[in-house]
Chains A and B, each alone.
Chain A
Amino acid sequence: MQAYLGIDLGSVSTNFLVLGPNSAVLAHHCLRTQGDPITAIKAGLTQLKKQLAPGVIICGAGSTGSGRHLAGVMIGADTVKNEITAHGIAAAHEIPAVQTVLEIGGQDSKIIILRQGMVTDFAMNTVCAAGTGSFLDRQAERLGLSIEHFGQLALESKNPVRIAGRCAVFAESDMIHKQQLGHSMEDISRGLCQALVRNYLNNVAKGKEILAPILFQGGVAANRGIKQAFEEALEQEVIVPKHHAVMGALGAALLAKQTVSRKKKSSFRGFEVSHWNFKVRTKHCNGCSNTCEVVKITAKGQILACWGDRCGRWSADPLVNRLNA
């Protein structure tokens, strides 16, 4: 059976998805990157292999996310795509009529506007991570709740408290204050969900025309409190797709399928890369006063890729160029 692999190597989580014929999702897996993307990819591939039925052949692979280049080099991806395009493609695949995609991930959040199946506009959070998954993670932890439980709790609130969502630091102190006043955990949770949504709509979605159907994807979409808060604020239905947490990986797999159908041959290295010993070395290049931090990745005694230099002295390696082509 022919299948395509997509990997979304994000700052907080690394997601894998295998797409079979007729767009069936044959396997998917999410794990925390925990600052060690190489281990995350190896572990993920091992897991995925176990889930797949024998006879499934990976005919192409794609990577996306902030670590897409690393992932791409490790697995020998056919396509390395930015996460905005990947999410847009996955959304349009899931619901062809989609016009708005709200995506909240670990450390970034974005809005993608589609019209007639084409991405026409997008925006990403800039310097502030106040409205993202890691912020929610941290606050849930502070309240002593698991992140899953936290969203559920918000649904039980009748009188949400108002929490300043403009800045993560102020939100936290505001929340502590509300706790000291004796507000219930439910009301605080819901207040926090509303604050996050308010912040997202004011900063990331500022000035964008949000039209239905609206898809909500990314890790945070699992949080039903946030979904509800979005629906209240937008006064419209917000759809959370089945594979909301792995939409980036789905997009990468779809793109890989497209690329391979064009170039006829895949450069995927196979699942055995999970046994390879990848070495990453950072060196400060002394070629000029920019002293770029150059990253060199090697495996099996071969340099797979270099990057991080501004001038191209190290990264102008044929292998990397082939990958980016």
Chain B
Amino acid sequence: MLVKIGIPRALLYYHYFPLWECFWGHLGLEVITSPPTDKSVLDRGVIAAAPETCLPVKVYYGHVLALAKAVDYLFVPRIISAQKGTYICPKFMGLPNMIKHSGYDLPPLISPTLDTNRGKKSWQRAHIQAAQGLGYNKKKALTAWRYANYRLRLYREKLQQKRTPLEFLNHDHSLPRSFTSPTILLLGHPYNLFDEFTNMNLIRQLYQYGYQIITPEMLSPVIIEREATQLPKHLFWSLGRTILGTAFHCLKNSPVVGVIHLTSFGCGPDSLVGELLERRVNKLSNLPFLLLTLDEHTGEGGLITRLEAFLDMIEWRRSS
């Protein structure tokens, strides 16, 4: 029987799923990804997680618990940095510890430390070591890594053709989008943007209201980095840096009609980045700006009211 490894469909899964699924799959493990977030995943996560964490981390717990009984190993990487000189949020660094000590009966965790600051090949080394820990030889692991990396590159290239991870994750190509409709710049962390349960189908709703979107995933990292270096001070939160870089580029170069910043309640970095973003958007443009904060509410009312008022603002301007 194949060894089963579980990958929680949460946090940076949306950025790296081709890498992780292909890496473990190529080695010959059976990769089991947790189902998309639903009410039971959220409810379990909220109960299990430490109370002071943010919504995405709570959701992560829910996905871990959804996999716990079904797999032999759980893949919970310790992501410190994905780009030299920057850091992912500290909660990602402590994630394996938080999960391990949650008090639940969990399969062993596979937690490579992924830190680009420790050298360009840190991610590769850590993945290979993790594979070796499961008894795979180095050569085989390297082949798997190269293949997985290639798949990740393909995925990113496709995203840059104005596609969203939703199309790849749900195998749903029927999203009613149109390339001629007005564009809204939708900024936020990937796990907020593409978890359709916690964000109450925000992207789908925007499509249905007749808009298309640009997200940070659709731009080349080179462009984002070039724009982000224009900040007067080095911003070391990589996700925040991506958001700002994207905003700077799109405000200058794309015919955007409005900006939405989607964030989750209790996000530390966003409390600063969001403020910076709003000020910059107001300075660089006079576009309508909407801050949407997600929390554990499952009622859509608040979100819809704000979204509708925001779209009214856009319509109003376009028609006058």
Contacts and interface: CB of A to CB of B under 8 A. Distances in A.
Contacts of B39: 289-291
A118 interface: yes
Given A82-B312, A290-B38, A310-B200, A127 B301 contact: no
A251 to B, nearest CB: 11
| Range for the number of chain A residues in contact with chain B | 20 to 34
A308 to B, nearest CB: 9
B304 A82 contact: yes
A83 interface: yes
Interface in B286-316: 286, 288-289, 291, 293, 295, 301-302, 304-306, 308-309, 312-313, 316
B320 A82 contact: no
A293 to B, nearest CB: 9
Interface residues of B, number: 28
A20 B9 CA distance: 56
A215 to B, nearest CB: 17
Interface string A280-311: 00000000111100000000000000000010
Given A66-B305, A207-B278, A310-B201, A120 B288 contact: yes
Contacts of A81: 308, 312
A132 to B, nearest CB: 14
Contacts of B312: 81-82, 84-85, 119
B265 A288 contact: no
A119 B306 CA distance: 13
Q: Which 10 A-B pairs have the closest CB atoms?
A: A84-B309, A82-B308, A85-B312, A289-B38, A82-B305, A290-B39, A82-B309, A290-B38, A119-B313, A85-B309
A121 B200 contact: no
16 contacts: A82-B306, A82-B312, A84-B308, A84-B309, A118-B316, A118-B320, A120-B288, A122-B309, A122-B313, A123-B291, A124-B302, A289-B39, A290-B38, A290-B39, A291-B39, A310-B200
Contacts, number: 57
Contacts of A288: 38
Interface in A149-181: none
A207 B289 CA distance: 13
Contacts of B162: none
A119 B295 contact: no
Contacts of B316: 118-119
B201 A124 contact: no
A22 interface: no
A312 B265 CA distance: 27
B317 interface: yes
A121 B310 CA distance: 8
Interface of A: 66, 81-85, 118-124, 126-127, 207, 288-291, 310
B136 interface: no
Contacts of B302: 124
Given A82-B312, A207-B278, A290-B38, A124 B197 contact: no
A126 B265 CA distance: 10
B200 A124 contact: no
Nearest to A123: B291
A179 to B, nearest CB: 33
Contacts of A119: 309, 312-313, 316
B180 to A, nearest CB: 21
A145 B144 CA distance: 74
B274 to A, nearest CB: 11
Contact of A85 (B200, B304, B308, B317): B308
B40 interface: yes
Interface in B238-276: 265, 275
Nearest to B42: A290
A120 B305 contact: no
Contacts of B320: 118
Given A118-B313, A123-B291, A207-B275, 19 more contacts: A66-B301, A82-B308, A82-B309, A83-B305, A84-B305, A84-B312, A85-B308, A118-B316, A119-B309, A119-B316, A120-B286, A121-B289, A122-B313, A124-B302, A289-B39, A289-B40, A290-B197, A291-B39, A310-B201
A66 B40 CA distance: 27
Most buried by A among B265, B278, B304, B313: B313
